[in-house]
Structure 1
Amino acid sequence: MKILAFMAHPDDAELLCAGTLVRLRKAGHDIAIATMTSGSCGSATLGPKEISDIRRVEAANSAAVIDADYHCAEIPDLEIVFDNPSRRKASDILRLTQPDIVITHYPQDYMYDHDMTSMLARDATFGGTLRNYPTDVDAPPVGQIPYLYYASPVDGVNAFGELIEYQFVVDVTSTIETKVEMLACHASQREWLRAQHGLDEYIEYMRRETGRMGATGGYDYGEGYCQHLGHPYRHDNIILELLGDA
């Protein structure tokens, strides 16, 4: 099957769902990673074009670790909105990648780029299947509405600081080191976060958070998810079935 991790920024997939992607890739499935932005605000010293050029390469290098494709909708950071041009860009990504499964942000996260991407990805799982919906790429509509999953919000909390309850947790203990390797490709973000937040714990934060999620399922490391089950989405948990964890 084809799995698309559709996130807001380069490095979001690595932080939130890369361990699962590695397991799915090892099970023989095709992986694509897409972002709505190229990370244009992710530097304290470089301009938008310069840091975007760097981050596209970092994202592609990270995806290449698991032989995955990388796509970018090229919207600037903090400018992701739910409008018709953005909806078409999101549907373009779906048509280019033809996914059976889409993983995106939890609908309520710590910043609106994540929230808007979640809405756009959900919208594209429907709009991307419609033959008469105009998009800008020479690619056919997606054959059927994909399975849709929401990864954990950052720190596992909603806007009120309340821990969300995952519907299930994927054990990524066996793939945590590959997840580390993928995240380490985003070297520019380690430097920016150290300058922006005064902390040098980019990879250690990921390990700690993946450990926290894993503990909720009884694993050393894990990634938590909720599945979109509203009409007309399918209800079987295909991720657990593909991983043999059902």
Structure 2
Amino acid sequence: MNVLAIGAHPDDIEILCGGTLALYAEEGHSIFTAVATDGSVGTPDLTKAEISAIRRQEQEASAALLGATLIWMGFEDEWLFNDRPTRTAFLDAIRQADPDIMFVHSPNDYIADHRVASQIATDCRIPASVRLVETALPACSKIPHVFFMDNVAGIDFSPEHYVDISSVLPRKAEMLACHKSQEIWMQQAYGESLSGIMLRNARHRGLAINAEAAEAFRSLRTYPVTRGDDLLPGRAR
């Protein structure tokens, strides 16, 4: 299968579904990670151009650990809007991956870029497969199933599906550790480490299934319904 995860910022995917993607990779599936913004405000002291370049390199390093194809959209951090250029970029990201499965942000996550990325990705799910919705790339061969990723820190998210990521927690941590610039930024902006947020949430979700660590998801419930949790790693397909 082709698996596409769409995150608003560099490091979002690693925090919210990095373990699940690692399990898919172990099963031999093709992984694509698409990042909507350039991460250009996540720094206490660098310029936008400097931090954007660093964060792209960090995202490339993380994708390489997973063996994933990185799609970098490069929109300005904190200025993501649901307009035609942005929708076109999302459509082409989906078309490049031609996914069976998409992981996207929850519609009620804590920051505007996450919510906008969720809306655009969900809105593009069907048009990406429509031939006469014309972009630079041909239409997808199928309509993917969409899983909403957990909210950051698990706040106001009611899981339907859990994936036991205990066996790949070190790989998830290694991928997140590629984003060294954000450990500094998160400590200054929020008073806690990026890795600390990830580990706390992974262990909290693991309690629900008696596992060391887990990631939590919900399925998009709109027509057409395209299967469900049988598509997650370790399930029968």
Counterpart-to-counterpart distance in 1, 2:228 and 2:153: 27
TM-score in terms of structure 2 length = 0.95
* Offset of residue 74 of structure 1: 1.2
1:168 corresponds, among 152, 161, 170, to: 161
**Matching residue's letter, 2:145:** Y
Mapping for residues 90-101 of structure 1, pairs under 5 Å: 90-101=90-101
Residue 151 of structure 2 is aligned to residue 141 of structure 1: no
* Offset of residue 245 of structure 1: 6.6
Mapping for residues 193-212 of structure 1, pairs under 5 Å: 193-199=186-192, 201-212=193-204
1:219 corresponds, among 203, 211, 214, to: 211
Instruction: Report the secondary structure of 1:244's partner residue.
Output: coil
* Offset of residue 237 of structure 1: 2.4
Q: 1:171 touches 1:221 (CA, 8 Å); kept in 2?
A: yes
Aligned to 2:13: 13
**Matching residue's letter, 2:229:** N
Counterpart-to-counterpart distance in 2, 1:229 and 1:220: 29
Aligned to 1:190: 183
**Matching residue's letter, 1:70:** L
1:150 corresponds, among 132, 148, 151, to: 148
Aligned to 1:67: 67
* Offset of residue 18 of structure 1: 0.4
Mapping for residues 49-88 of structure 1, pairs under 5 Å: 49-88=49-88
Counterpart-to-counterpart distance in 1, 2:229 and 2:204: 22
**Residue-by-residue CA offset, 1:186-212 (whole Å, 9 max, x unaligned):** 00111111222333x221221111101
TM-score in terms of structure 1 length = 0.92
Residue 228 of structure 2 is aligned to residue 236 of structure 1: yes
Q: Can you give the 5+ residue segments of structure 2 that lack an aligned partner in the other structure?
A: none
- Cα RMSD, aligned residues only: 1.4
* Offset of residue 85 of structure 1: 1.6
Give the stretch that moved more between structures: 92-101 or 181-190.
Answer: 92-101
Give the stretch that moved more between structures: 186-195 or 14-23.
Answer: 186-195
Aligned to 2:29: 29
* Offset of residue 154 of structure 1: 1.0
Mapping for residues 116-127 of structure 1, pairs under 5 Å: 116-127=116-127
Q: Can you give the 5+ residue segments of structure 1 that lack an aligned partner in the other structure?
A: 159-163
**Matching residue's letter, 2:234:** L
Q: 2:229 touches 2:235 (CA, 8 Å); kept in 1?
A: no
Instruction: Report the secondary structure of 1:128's partner residue.
Output: helix
**Residue-by-residue CA offset, 1:37-84 (whole Å, 9 max, x unaligned):** 010111111111111111111001001101111111111111111122
**Matching residue's letter, 1:151:** M
Aligned to 1:104: 104
Instruction: Report the secondary structure of 1:74's partner residue.
Output: strand
**Residue-by-residue CA offset, 1:147-176 (whole Å, 9 max, x unaligned):** 100010112123xxxxx3211110000000
Counterpart-to-counterpart distance in 2, 1:238 and 1:72: 29
**Matching residue's letter, 1:62:** S
**Matching residue's letter, 1:204:** G
How many residue pairs end up in the alignment?
Answer: 237
Aligned to 1:180: 173
Q: 1:145 touches 1:233 (CA, 8 Å); kept in 2?
A: no
